[in-house]
Amino acid sequence: MLLFFVGCGGVPVPDELKNLCPVTITVTDGDQAIEGIAVSLSAETSGGAWASRGVTNEKGVAVIQTLRASYTGKGAPAGDYKVTLIKTANFPPELEPQETDQNLPPQAVVAKEKKRNDFLEKNRIIPKSLELSDTSPVKLTVTSQTGATLIIDLSQYKKQ
């Protein structure tokens, strides 16, 4: 007898993703929920060929999903992870990339890029240390019995 699992939409479930565990991550700044934060999990040991991530809603909660090829499942495989956060800034119109930027002289391109970087630093929501798995101090253990729930208060990392 041949057995295989099929996920939503008839997409086969990869073997290593058959037992996903529920994971929710809440992002706040003090007692204020932060919406629109992209949350990613990076396996601390050699990870598989999948991505586990989510985006915070208006309550600051991201429900993690794991993606591999055309399969998407709720949760993440059991294991140890580093957690990273990204929030894209909304640039003012004059700092948005324009098609006409390619016609600017090199010094004008450099000046605009400096203004963009200055804007990002001044309006940073996520501390830099949380943006890369190499520098993120946030760790998460997902267990097959309970999954994982984590609250990240950005105000704790802004002081570092």
CA–CA dist 82, 141 (Å, integer): 9
User: pTM of the prediction?
Assistant: 0.78
How many residues make up the chain in this entry? 160
31-40 pLDDT, tens digit each: 999 999 999 9
CATH no., domain 8-87+125-158: 2.60.40.10
Q: Which helix (H) or strand (E) holds 111?
A: helix 106-122
77-114 pLDDT, tens digit each: 999 999 999 998 788 888 888 878 888 898 988 999 99
